[in-house]
């Protein structure tokens, strides 16, 4: 099977700082899950942001299904993020003024052909055990519940790639394990490719591949 995501020779340096990425190569197939380990500040989140077209490298190529993501204009990259990629961050970043269901539907508001998004949102929320929390505000949920809502929001437009930036970082062990279970289940059920940045080797081992970012390169 050919790689859905293919990045090569990606390098990135922030102004007046040491290079963060110095030639990263990575291929991810559909449905594959990859864990990226590394010390704090080694560039894991930067790599994830570049993959998700939120940041741009100084050099290298990034192909998604053969499409050159780095050559996309602002409109195309926004569409790419909206339809092909789902993001889960360490903090949930839910909108406090919106209900659980509304938070999930936020990406669908700007998606094309998302007419059945509401039903899918309800299905997914039921799937993650939040069917009775649809009209709750984030302030009324626990940390684990909020992060589950964030996962459902990432999946609402049926992306093929899920990028998770330390999704369990703010959770306790039990919550972290539960969320990990959920992510792996979804990975299987939705045939979802997943790149997850984490500090936890224990959780990383549950993914298909484990890579370490060190000195700006994936090993």
Chain residues in the site for other proteins (CB under 8 A): 40-41, 45, 49, 52, 54-55, 74-75, 78-83, 86-87, 89-91, 93-99, 101-102, 105-107, 109-111, 135, 137-140, 153-154, 157, 165, 169-170
- Specify the residue, 66 or 139, whose C-beta has the smaller distance to other proteins: 139
- Specify the residue, 101 or 180, whose C-beta has the smaller distance to other proteins: 101
Angstrom distance (rounded) from CA 7 to CA 133: 39
State the minimum distance, in angstroms, from the CB of residue 129 to other proteins.
Answer: 20
Helix residue ranges per DSSP H, 128-172: 143-155
- Specify the residue, 96 or 113, whose C-beta has the smaller distance to other proteins: 96
State the minimum distance, in angstroms, from the CB of residue 204 to other proteins.
Answer: 18
Q: Which helix or strand (DSSP H or E) is residue 8 part of?
A: strand 5-13
Angstrom distance (rounded) from CA 85 to CA 155: 8
State the minimum distance, in angstroms, from the CB of residue 68 to other proteins.
Answer: 18
Give, in order, the Cα–Cα distances in Å from 28 to each of 9, 31, 135. Answer: 15, 9, 37
On the 0-12 / 13-18 / 19+ scale of CB atoms within 10 A, 72 is middle
Angstrom distance (rounded) from CA 49 to CA 163: 9
Task: Please state at what angle helix 117-127 crosses helix 143-155, rounded to 10 degrees.
Answer: 140
Coil, strand, or helix at residue 189? helix
State the minimum distance, in angstroms, from the CB of residue 40 to other proteins.
Answer: 6
- Specify the residue, 45 or 187, whose C-beta has the smaller distance to other proteins: 45
State the minimum distance, in angstroms, from the CB of residue 92 to other proteins.
Answer: 9
- Specify the residue, 126 or 188, whose C-beta has the smaller distance to other proteins: 126
State the minimum distance, in angstroms, from the CB of residue 211 to other proteins.
Answer: 19
- Specify the residue, 29 or 137, whose C-beta has the smaller distance to other proteins: 137
Angstrom distance (rounded) from CA 83 to CA 162: 11
């Amino acid at each position: 099977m050919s790689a859905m995501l293919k990045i090569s020779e990606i390098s990135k340096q922030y102004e007046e700082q040491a290079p963060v990425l110095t030639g990263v190569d990575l291929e991810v197939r559909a449905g594959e899950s990859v864990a990226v380990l590394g010390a704090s500040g080694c560039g894991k989140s930067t790599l994830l942001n570049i993959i998700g077209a939120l940041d741009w490298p100084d050099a290298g190529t990034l192909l998604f299904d053969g499409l050159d993501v780095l050559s996309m204009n602002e409109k195309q990259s926004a569409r790419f993020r909206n339809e092909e990629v789902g993001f889960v961050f360490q903090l949930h970043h839910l909108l406090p003024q919106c209900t659980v269901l509304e938070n999930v539907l936020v990406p669908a508001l700007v998606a094309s052909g998302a007419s059945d998004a509401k039903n899918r949102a309800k299905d997914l929320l039921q799937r993650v055990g939040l069917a009775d929390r649809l009209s709750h505000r984030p302030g009324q949920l626990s940390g684990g519940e909020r992060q589950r809502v964030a996962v459902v929001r990432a999946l609402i437009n049926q992306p093929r790639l899920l990028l998770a930036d330390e999704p369990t970082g703010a959770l306790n062990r039990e919550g972290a394990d539960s969320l990990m279970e959920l992510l792996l289940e979804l990975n299987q059920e939705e045939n979802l490719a997943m790149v997850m940045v984490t500090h936890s080797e224990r959780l990383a081992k549950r993914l298909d591949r484990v890579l370490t970012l060190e000195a700006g390169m994936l090993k």
